């Protein structure tokens, strides 16, 4: 394992009753790496993501970020250390405008909330517009989120996660719920927007074409274990991956 | 569309307060008293609006209203504190201090549970107050005439001076509320109302924010109670009774959560309806109130404030000025 790993999980275990969600999980993610997590439902991808963000505590093992142990930290503390996530179903404030959603992200990122410092102040608005422009959402800035189509909401959800310039960005199924012909344009936009930032990206994805095209590295999960880890083409070609994940080997 | 310019809203608010205080000199006595009651009661509803913006409604703000009122009346009667401004401040501080230990507990609850818990707290206080003979039991007790900055108030001017004090204090708190609503904490409160999960994942603490909102609402409501009792000259446990709390919720819903001014306007509407109904049909005035609320919920569900402020918190009618 290299010393430059941004995220390092060592021997992580998690059980829910009789179900093993993580078993001797060890994984390193380097700065700037684009890693895709694949696996069938119940393989342990989401559990792993939830342990990184602090919403689940591992039964054993440790997780470090930038050399700092985050295993027992609260989700909020981990967020402030630079771990952000987006959601499979976009988690937005539907009655607020797109820009206001960005300002909410910016206000939360600023640390202690202020009783008097205006939320709609120059620097926060500028940062919001800058991110929206990068995701091609500038034209929607003043629209209410409830009026937006699904694809735009997905992008906004990710843009909000980027507001605090995280070191590690977790994308939970960025293309789920998006029409097939919109998947590539959406991922192209996301990757272009991320391209300027040197952050590690961990994305959970079920579409193998997306995985092959956008990940530097693929980690395959099965029954709480990592069964393959490496370059996309090679990993997807492993017999265990073909049997348990992609279903191309029977 | 142009955002509401905070500076203009603020300046408009200051101007309105000054004009109203000046206009009071020309008003008949019944009207100054009505507006005084509208402003002091409006503060309690403003506290509910603070909570509403975070996604919860308290059905027990009568508790802090009574706490503020009893604090002012007792300080006056037992300890000889007579200054109106000091009594108003003390009412707010005590109500907030009582709200504080409950705040962290209550911040875990949402929806009907939050409403019922606050209601329960207010009714416990009602029961206590009604049973304590030293506080006059269910009859309550009278409070004398306060002073202002060392000046005793003459018979002829006391009504107007208390009108001025009430509008000045309410106005200052209303302006502070506007600043608070526009702050980062204020915006995150609005976000909590819609998506607590996201706020938590962005690094905001929902529970802490709810607890703080509850204490703020307690303070504002306590000041409202103190101001009310100083003008009424009498307090009794009904300040903490659930129908009193219900009226505060009525005003908060009528005003809506977007405009601070709308809350006070709604409070004035309630006082007008109350005055005229009790004059013409004293036993069924709640009926009028109920029908009125039905109309509001049907036709202006987002409250009076939504008549001039749209969903984004922007003033209507200036949308082209991007």
| Chain B nearest C-alpha distance from A247 (Å) | 34
DSSP A54: T
The set of residues, in sequence order, having a beta carbon less than 8 Å from that of A235 and lying 6+ positions away, is A217, A218, A219, A220, A228, A229, A241
Diameter of chain B measured on Cα atoms:
63
Give the number of other CB atoms < 10 A from CB of residue B151: 10
| Average pLDDT of the segment spanning B200-204 | 89
Among candidates B230, B185, B219, which has minimal Cα distance to B77? Answer: B230
Q: Tens-digit pLDDT profile for chain A (250 aa)?
A: 445 789 999 999 999 988 888 998 999 999 989 999 999 888 889 899 999 999 999 999 999 999 999 999 988 899 999 999 999 899 999 999 999 999 999 998 877 888 988 888 888 999 999 999 999 999 999 999 999 988 899 999 999 999 988 999 999 999 888 888 888 999 999 998 888 778 999 999 888 889 999 999 999 999 889 999 999 888 888 888 888 888 877 6
According to the model, what pLDDT value does residue B313 have?
60
In which band, very low, low, confident or very high, does the pLDDT at B321 lie, cut at 50, 70 and 90? Answer: very low
Please indicate, yes or no, if residue A46 is contained in any of the structural domains.
Answer: yes
User: Does A233 reach chain B within 8 Å, measured CB to CB?
Assistant: no
pTM of the entire predicted model: 0.90
pLDDT digits (tens, 9 = 90+) for B85-132: 999 999 999 999 999 999 999 999 998 999 999 999 999 999 999 999
A174: CATH: 3.40.50.300
Q: Are residues A171 and A68 in the same domain?
A: yes
What percentage of chain A has pLDDT greater than the value 70? 98
Distances (CA, A) of A207 to A37, A46, B218, B220: 11, 16, 52, 54
User: Does B185 reach chain A within 8 Å, measured CB to CB?
Assistant: yes
Is B184 in contact with A75 (Cβ distance < 8 A)? no
Is B184 in contact with A160 (Cβ distance < 8 A)? no
Is B187 in contact with A107 (Cβ distance < 8 A)? yes
According to the model, what pLDDT value does residue B113 have?
93
User: Does A114 reach chain B within 8 Å, measured CB to CB?
Assistant: yes
Question: Which residues of chain A have a CB within 8 Å of the CB of B185?
Answer: 107, 113-115
Question: Which residues of chain A have a CB within 8 Å of the CB of B184?
Answer: 107, 110, 113-114, 117-119
| A224 within 8 A of A43, measured Cβ to Cβ | yes
Query: Can you say whether the dihedral through the CA atoms of A103, A109, A115, A118 is positive or negative?
Result: negative
Q: Are residues A63 and A172 in the same domain?
A: yes
d(CA B253, CA A41): 45
User: Does B180 reach chain A within 8 Å, measured CB to CB?
Assistant: yes
pLDDT digits (tens, 9 = 90+) for A115-124: 988 888 888 9
Please indicate, yes or no, if residue B318 is contained in any of the structural domains.
Answer: no
Q: Are residues A68 and A103 in the same domain?
A: no
With CA atoms as reference, the chain B residue closest to A76 would be B203
Is A116 in contact with B191 (Cβ distance < 8 A)? no
Is B201 in contact with A107 (Cβ distance < 8 A)? no
Give the number of other CB atoms < 10 A from CB of residue A212: 15
pLDDT digits (tens, 9 = 90+) for B231-257: 999 999 999 999 899 999 999 999 999
Token pair belonging to B88: 């108003």
User: What ipTM was assigned to the predicted interfaces of this complex?
Assistant: 0.88
Domain count, chain A: 2
Q: Are residues A98 and A25 in the same domain?
A: no
Could you tell me the residue range of the domain that residue A146 belongs to?
Answer: 90-165
Is A53 in contact with B209 (Cβ distance < 8 A)? no
In which band, very low, low, confident or very high, does the pLDDT at B264 lie, cut at 50, 70 and 90? Answer: very high
Please indicate, yes or no, if residue B173 is contained in any of the structural domains.
Answer: yes
Could you tell me the residue range of the domain that residue B45 belongs to?
Answer: 6-307
Is B312 in contact with A109 (Cβ distance < 8 A)? no
d(CA B203, CA A185): 30
Question: Which residues of chain A have a CB within 8 Å of the CB of B313?
Answer: 100
More reliable by pLDDT, B154 or B79: B79
Domain count, chain B: 1
Among candidates B57, B102, B14, B59, which has minimal Cα distance to B245? Answer: B59
Q: Are residues A72 and A109 in the same domain?
A: no
According to the model, what pLDDT value does residue A243 have?
85
Please indicate, yes or no, if residue B238 is contained in any of the structural domains.
Answer: yes
């Amino acid at each position: 394992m290299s010393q430059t790993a941004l995220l390092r999980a060592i021997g992580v275990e998690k059980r829910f009753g009789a179900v093993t969600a993580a078993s001797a999980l060890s994984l390193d993610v380097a700065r700037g790496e684009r890693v895709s997590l694949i696996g069938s439902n119940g393989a342990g991808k989401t559990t792993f993501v939830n342990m990184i963000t602090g919403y689940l505590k591992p039964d054993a093992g440790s997780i470090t970020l930038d050399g700092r142990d985050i295993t027992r930290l609260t989700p909020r503390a981990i967020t402030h250390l630079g771990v952000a996530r987006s959601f499979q179903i976009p988690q937005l404030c539907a009655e607020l405008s797109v820009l206001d959603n960005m300002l909410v992200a910016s206000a939360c990122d600023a640390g202690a909330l202020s009783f008097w410092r205006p939320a709609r102040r120059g620097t926060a608005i500028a940062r919001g517009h800058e991110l929206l422009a990068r995701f091609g959402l500038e034209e929607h800035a003043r629209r209410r989120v409830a009026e937006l189509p699904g694809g735009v909401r997905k992008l906004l959800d990710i843009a909000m996660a980027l507001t605090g310039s995280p070191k590690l960005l977790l994308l939970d199924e960025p293309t789920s719920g998006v029409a097939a012909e919109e998947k590539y344009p959406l991922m192209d936009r996301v990757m272009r927007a991320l391209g300027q930032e040197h952050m590690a990206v961990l994305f959970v994805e079920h579409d193998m074409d997306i995985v092959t095209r956008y990940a530097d590295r693929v980690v395959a999960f099965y029954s709480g274990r990592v069964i393959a880890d490496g370059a996309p083409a090679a990993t997807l070609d492993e017999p265990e991956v073909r049997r348990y994940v992609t279903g191309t080997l029977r | 569309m142009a955002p509401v310019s905070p500076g203009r809203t603020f300046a408009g608010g200051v101007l309105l307060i000054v004009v109203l205080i000046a206009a009071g000199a020309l008003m008949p006595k019944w009207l100054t008293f009505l507006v005084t009651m509208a402003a002091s009661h409006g503060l309690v509803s403003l506290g509910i609006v603070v909570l509403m913006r975070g996604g919860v409604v308290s059905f027990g703000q009568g508790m802090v209203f009574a706490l503020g009122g009893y604090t002012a009346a007792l300080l006056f009667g037992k300890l000889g504190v007579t200054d109106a401004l000091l009594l108003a401040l003390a009412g707010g501080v005590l109500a907030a201090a009582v709200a504080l230990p409950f705040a962290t507990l209550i911040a875990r609850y949402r929806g009907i549970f939050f409403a019922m818990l606050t209601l329960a707290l207010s009714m416990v206080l009602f029961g206590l107050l009604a049973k304590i003979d030293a506080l006059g039991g269910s009859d309550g007790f009278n409070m004398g005439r306060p002073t202002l900055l060392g000046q005793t108030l003459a018979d002829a001017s006391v009504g107007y001076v208390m009108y001025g004090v009430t509008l000045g204090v309410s106005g200052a708190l209303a302006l502070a509320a506007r600043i608070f609503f526009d702050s980062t904490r204020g915006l995150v409160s609005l976000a909590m109302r819609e998506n607590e999960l996201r706020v938590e994942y962005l690094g905001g603490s929902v529970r802490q924010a709810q607890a703080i909102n509850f204490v703020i609402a307690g303070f504002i409501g306590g000041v409202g109670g103190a101001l009310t009792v100083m003008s009424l000259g009498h307090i009794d446990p009904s300040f903490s009774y659930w129908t009193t709390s219900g009226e505060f919720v009525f005003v908060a819903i009528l005003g809506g959560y977007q405009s601070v001014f709308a809350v006070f306007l709604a409070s004035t509407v309630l006082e007008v309806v109350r005055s005229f109904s009790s004059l013409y049909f004293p036993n069924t005035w709640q009926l009028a109130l109920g029908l009125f609320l039905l109309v509001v919920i049907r036709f202006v569900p987002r409250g009076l404030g939504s008549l001039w402020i749209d969903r984004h918190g922007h003033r209507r009618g200036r949308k082209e000025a991007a």
